[in-house]
Amino acid sequence: MNAQTALQAETGLVPDPDWWRGGVIYQIYPRSYQDSNGDGIGDLKGIAERLPYVASLGVDAIWISPFFKSPMKDFGYDVSDYCDIDPMFGTLADFDDLLAKAHALGVRVVIDLVLSHSSDQHPWFAESRTSRDNAKSDWYVWSDPKPDGTPPNNWLSIFGGSAWQWDARREQYYLHNFLSSQPDLNFHCADVQDALLDVTRFWLERGVDGFRLDTINFYIHDKQLRDNPPLPPEERNATIAPSVNPYNHQRHLYSKNQPENLVFLKRFRALLDQYQDRTCVGEVGDAQRGLEILGEYTSGGDKAHMCYAFELLEGAPLTAARVREVFDRVAEAAPDGWACWAYSNHDVQRHVSRWNLDDTATRTLANLIICLRGSVCFYQGEELGLPEADVPFEALQDPYGIEFWPEFKGRDGCRTPMVWDSQAENSGFGEGATWLPVSRDHAQLAVDKQLSDPASMLNHYRAVIALRRAHPVLAKGSISAMTVSGDLLTFQRELDGETVFCAFNMGQAVVGITLPSGNWQTIGAALGGIAPNKGQTELAGWQCCIARKLED
């Protein structure tokens, strides 16, 4: 038995260094997936308990949002120990058990790695702030004030206000792009990069299959600390709180997106390449240059494997014209890069509510994303068709929502507990009071009600994922001939001589389509797609046609 055969027999995984390309990743927000011990908060044992359900979806991997030790000011995105589990989620042994069970089921595990900043309670920061000449004095971004005592420049925090916090110990400001309790690490310091690569190696040695790199374009700041220029009002198109957050009034030319970041990403990729079948997906947080940065960071095969920007996570309705615009930009900015697409995640309003979708439109958009070139992330509960939950102000936990209420209600509405059993306490999430309220509206869409219904949204998502698995052309093929006519979007996917034609009616009115010359056979019937009739057919509102070209 060779090494690869042994790996497959031991873990249930099929060795494939290219598994991520076109793969389907299921995002789990650990606080809200399954509570195993009755404390109202989801945990690693709870995730492990639900892995058979995850595997039944047919996904290639799970992405677990942060579970490291943390004071939880930003719910795990403020790390105080990168190499241990926060007790509310369990132990390292619990993680090892989860990893082993996932691998046995053929599911890979991607974890969220937050490298741009740590918690202010991390020992590194505790030492750094003690003086200007200690061993870690330059591990964070420190600066003297201006002569008048004000911050060194005009950079703003995403969570509101200045990105600089005064520290009386050093009589200096430190940089925080997010909460003041999340100081930015100084990537211009070689020791910082080395320490973070050691953290990465720790989890690689533990057996994780990859990393979701939080705020990948925030790692490095301008050494000269130059002011950001203003952003014209007509360009203020941020996905999160675009109108109420002053952060969106700047073009973030110097506080992120620095060219030196490419050097670090090459170091990171070189480390991953020492291990079998590992990957990374970067979160590109930039409303104006997201796709351009995606292209830079995923080009050449020596940096990030894939990145996702926010073009399909935005508030404006997704139209045929918008899809064409995004893919035209991807073709220009990232011709040899790789995108990872998502409609929903833990940072944005669930897309069913954001775009005001009915059941038919929701299904058709699921069909669309699985046919687009790129990898795909589905967010927990998306497969149930969950809308955004209504969380009252007194129950809010998200500091973002608390800061900008009521114009922006924060991210808690997409983070409420998963619903498993419509008749059980807390819809099967766990016993007792929950960290966020379980939505009553969600209970009627619980897993138990959908499992046995062949026409349910859950079973539709299973069919969507199965279609991509059955046709590698949809996962890894090229995309071409994308056209738009009103609400009609058409394109072709090609790989190793196989051609698939895709047509999506993204509106209510009936539209006629004509397929390219040749003989075509539908492969999308299980998704509600219509079969072509002698190369011509009509699509009803929010209907699609997905057809494979037969050999002449």
Catalytic residues: 214, 283
Judged by DSSP in three states, 110 sits in: strand
Residues paired with 108 in a beta bridge: 61
Place of tokens 């132990």: 91
CA pair distance 542, 165, nearest whole angstrom: 50
CA pair distance 173, 170, nearest whole angstrom: 8
Judged by DSSP in three states, 270 sits in: helix
**Number of other residues whose CB lies within 10 A of the CB of residue 302:** 12
How far is CA 414 from each of CA 145, 390, 431, 437, rounded to the nearest angstrom?
39, 9, 21, 11
Place of tokens 């595990």: 109
Annotate 6-34 with DSSP letters as a single string.
HHHHHHSPPP-TTTTTT-EEEEE-GGGT-
CA pair distance 211, 278, nearest whole angstrom: 8
Angle (CA) 114-346-477 rounded to 5° is 85
CA pair distance 444, 448, nearest whole angstrom: 9
- The answer to whether the CB of 419 falls within 8 A of the CB of 384 is yes
Angle (CA) 127-132-137 rounded to 5° is 45
Contacts of 239 (CB under 8 A, 6+ apart): 287, 310, 313, 314, 315, 347, 348
- The answer to whether the CB of 190 falls within 8 A of the CB of 129 is no
**Would you call 155 exposed, middle or buried from its count of C-beta atoms within 10 A (0-12, 13-18, 19+)?**
buried
- The answer to whether the CB of 410 falls within 8 A of the CB of 389 is no
- Residue 244 one-letter amino acid: V
Strand ranges (E), 122-239:
142-143, 164-167, 172-175, 210-213
- The answer to whether the CB of 19 falls within 8 A of the CB of 277 is yes
Q: Which of 44, 205, 200, 28 is nearest to 113 (CA)?
A: 200
